[in-house]
Structure 1
Amino acid sequence: MTGNQQTARIDVSSIARIDHDEAMRITAVENRKFGDVMTALSPDQWSTQTECTLWDVRAMAAHLVGSAASQASPREFLRQKRGGKPICTELGSPFWWDGMNELQVREREASTTAQLIDEWSTASAAALKSRTKMPRLIAGLKLLNLPEPVGRQPLSYLFDIGFTRDVWAHRIDIAHATATEPDHDADHDGRILADIVAEWASTHGEPFRLILDGPAGGSFVQGTGGDEIHLSVVDFVRTLAERTTADGVLRHTLPL
């Protein structure tokens, strides 16, 4: 029996969701962890293909660097959004963020590894400062129309924890692509995971028992009966983020 199987089951309805103040503390840690990943990558690993079919590891890092720059400045966010519009048409995507993400990558194609690492350090710190100070009235505006099952959400959905989840999920993508273990711990990564499980469970409402292996994992339950699932944290996140597919309750995805 693994350590996760020995831990008490957590009823997902009891999981307190991450609020703004906690999200900013989590973001500071996640920024550091992603910076450590970038610094540790070998030259060969930078060019490794990821499960995001358009991106290798370098492109994925460039996206996150560019995303941080957009979070630090409303003007830069709008510039990237406008600049990504024709790329959406090129990609055949109905989602404005797909063009914006690709713009972030293309604008950094000539950046060296050292330049990407330096820009991450600067941009992520500026993004955290900007997100921390975002007025709550603005954060509460329901301006986001995201794919189902998320739907319409306030800006805080992205600017509190959503952008940090993106970094976290891509850190898992990079670990999977490079066949390395992600730097996961119960306090930080486990908290992000529990929040994701709570939201995911609320979107579909089906009963399940979920055992996730790894330092960030745990045992989660919703209702009685339903599917019993046992897999790694990495594979759970890959499934929710549609890097792979599954049946049963795991057919329900969540944008990460």
Structure 2
Amino acid sequence: MTSALASRPRTSTLDRDTAMRLARTEYERVVTLLEGLAPQDWATPTDCPAWDVRATAAHLLGMAEMSASVRESLRQVKAAQGRPGVFIDELTALQVDERAGMSPAGILARYAEVTPRAAKARRRMPWFLRRQKMSPAQVVNGREETWTLGFLSDVIMTRDPWMHRSDLARALGVPMVLTAEHDGVLVDDVVREWFERLGRPVAVRLTGPAGGTWGEGGPELEFDAVEFCRALSGRGTAPLSTEVPF
């Protein structure tokens, strides 16, 4: 990435209607996945260190409640900033810790109830707020960068449940529901951001319902679309070192 790009606050490249359609659909797919769990499934370990399925769902609920309420968002941010570690790690740990006493059924019921409100609140975020810089700065590929609140709301808050849905599917040994109309659009946005961050020619072919082809010149790469995204998030085994945030 050039220094000019690195210094510019990151904004969403998705149009609002598309971003909000992806948000609503992703919430619905997580609800459907959680509804299909057997009681014993909630204790299954995931690829996220120290998180089983229940802890992952607790984090997802915390993020949805954060998106649904400005007051709750400010409360969580203040509480996480009061902890000694890296902000995003402390925020997600806070979300899990605060819901440690909830039953799996309670987490599911609350998630199903709050996510429509989260989607509505994200859609209603006014333009002047979406242009505000998010604090603190985020570290991606070893560099600090600034995000706008619009990038957080339109992009990251949908990539996060999508990636964790892949974690849950892998942990449970079930297929991840994928369609070109939803997952393909999300993956396309990830690939385009990856090209920008990579800064050199490459041709990529991603397989599966969310896949496609991008770029020309340079090395030719082929991966499963979900595994490609998992590698960019720091998961998986694909040999890709340039990160994209999820």
**Aligned position for 1:19:** 15
| Residue ranges of structure 1 left out of the alignment (5+ in a row) | 1-15
Alignment of 1:254 with 2:229, yes or no, is no
Residues 91-120 of structure 1: CA deviation (Å, up to 9, x unaligned): xx32x1211111111111121122111111
Alignment of 1:225 with 2:218, yes or no, is yes
CA–CA distance in 2 between the matches of 1:21 and 1:66?
Answer: 24
CA contact (8 A) 1:19 1:160 kept: no
For residue 254 of structure 1, what is the amino acid of its counterpart?
A: V
SS in 2 for 1:188: helix
Alignment of 1:200 with 2:200, yes or no, is no
**Aligned position for 1:175:** 169
CA–CA distance in 1 between the matches of 2:181 and 2:237?
Answer: 28
1:64-213 pair list within 5 angstroms: 64-87=60-83, 89=84, 93-94=85-86, 96-144=87-135, 145-149=137-141, 151-213=145-207
Scaled by the length of structure 1, the TM-score of the pair is 0.85
For residue 192 of structure 1, what is the amino acid of its counterpart?
A: L
SS in 1 for 2:180: coil
SS in 2 for 1:187: helix
Q: Which has the bigger relative contact order, CA under 8 A and spacing at least 6?
A: 1
Aligned-pair distance for 1:86?
Answer: 4.4
CA–CA distance in 2 between the matches of 1:143 and 1:158?
Answer: 8
Residues 170-189 of structure 1: CA deviation (Å, up to 9, x unaligned): 10111111122100011111
User: Over aligned residue pairs, what C-alpha RMSD do you find?
Assistant: 1.7
For residue 142 of structure 1, what is the amino acid of its counterpart?
A: K
**Aligned position for 2:8:** none
Alignment of 1:241 with 2:233, yes or no, is yes
Aligned-pair distance for 1:75?
Answer: 1.2
SS in 1 for 2:107: helix
Scaled by the length of structure 2, the TM-score of the pair is 0.88
| Residue ranges of structure 2 left out of the alignment (5+ in a row) | 1-11
CA contact (8 A) 2:19 2:155 kept: yes
CA–CA distance in 2 between the matches of 1:81 and 1:115?
Answer: 24
**Aligned position for 2:4:** none
Q: Which moved more, 1:23-32 or 1:205-214?
A: 205-214
Aligned-pair distance for 1:68?
Answer: 0.6
Aligned-pair distance for 1:54?
Answer: 2.1
For residue 253 of structure 1, what is the amino acid of its counterpart?
A: E
1:20-59 pair list within 5 angstroms: 20-59=16-55
CA contact (8 A) 2:140 2:243 kept: no
CA contact (8 A) 2:232 2:244 kept: yes
